[in-house]
C-alpha cells in the first residue's frame, strides 16, 4: 500500500470512529430522560407514579402529570399513602406536574400544592401568538421543568389544553 493510500485509509478510520463515538454519545444523552406518565383518564396517581418508578432507573428524569381529581395527591392535604409515593417519585428524579388551566379554572388550588409541583401550559388557542410558530416554550417557562422529547412535550401540552 502506498503511503498516500495508507494516510487516506487511516483518515477514513478516524472519521468513522469519531462518527461512532458521536452516535453513541447522542444515544446516551437521549437515555437520561424518561417518559411522561399521566394520572387521569383511567389511571390513578398511584398507578401512574408506580409505573413511572418501575420504568425509569433512579436518577433518570421523568414526568408525572396529575389531572383532577388525581391532582389532590400533589397537595398538602393528600393522604399519607399518596404523599409517600409522591416523595418516592421526586427522590427518584421525577418531576410532578399539574395543568395551569386546572389552576386557572380552580379545579386545583395552587396554594395547597406541595413545593416543587410545576404548572404547565397547554397549547394556546388557534390564532394566538403566545407560543410563536416553531418555538417549544412559552415566555417565562423553564425548559428544565419540561420534557426534551418533542413527543412527550406535545402529549403534555395536549393534555393541558
CB 71 within 8 A of CB 105: no
Cell numbers that stand for 139 in this block: 415566555
Give the chain's length.
161
Partners of 99 in beta bridges: 120
- The mean pLDDT value of the chain amounts to 83
User: What is the rounded CA–CA span in Å between residue 156 and residue 68?
Assistant: 15
Please report the pLDDT score of residue 12 as a whole number: 40
pLDDT digits (tens, 9 = 90+) for 23-52: 333 333 345 799 999 999 799 999 999 999
Give the Cβ contact number of residue 64 at 10 Å: 26
Looking up cell 483518515 gives: 11
pTM for this prediction: 0.78
pLDDT band at 17 (very low <50, low <70, confident <90, very high): very low
Phi first, then psi, for residue 114 (nearest 5°) are -70, 160
pLDDT digits (tens, 9 = 90+) for 117-141: 999 999 988 778 788 778 888 888 9
Please report the pLDDT score of residue 9 as a whole number: 42
Give the Cβ contact number of residue 148 at 10 Å: 14
Amino acid at each position: 500500500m502506498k503511503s498516500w493510500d495508507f494516510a487516506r485509509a487511516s483518515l477514513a478510520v478516524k472519521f468513522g470512529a469519531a462518527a461512532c463515538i458521536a452516535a453513541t454519545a447522542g444515544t446516551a444523552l437521549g437515555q437520561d430522560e424518561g417518559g411522561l406518565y399521566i394520572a387521569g383518564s383511567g389511571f390513578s396517581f398511584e398507578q401512574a407514579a408506580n409505573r413511572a418508578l418501575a420504568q425509569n432507573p433512579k436518577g433518570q428524569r421523568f414526568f408525572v402529570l396529575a389531572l383532577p381529581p388525581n391532582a389532590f395527591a400533589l397537595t398538602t392535604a393528600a393522604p399519607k399513602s399518596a404523599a409517600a409515593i409522591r416523595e418516592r417519585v421526586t427522590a427518584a428524579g421525577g418531576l410532578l406536574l399539574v395543568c395551569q388551566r386546572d389552576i386557572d379554572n380552580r379545579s386545583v388550588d395552587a396554594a395547597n400544592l406541595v413545593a416543587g409541583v410545576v404548572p404547565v401550559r397547554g397549547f394556546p388557542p388557534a390564532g394566538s401568538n403566545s407560543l410563536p410558530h416553531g418555538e417549544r416554550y412559552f415566555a417565562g417557562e423553564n425548559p428544565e421543568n419540561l420534557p426534551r422529547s418533542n413527543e412527550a412535550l406535545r402529549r403534555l401540552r395536549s393534555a393541558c389544553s
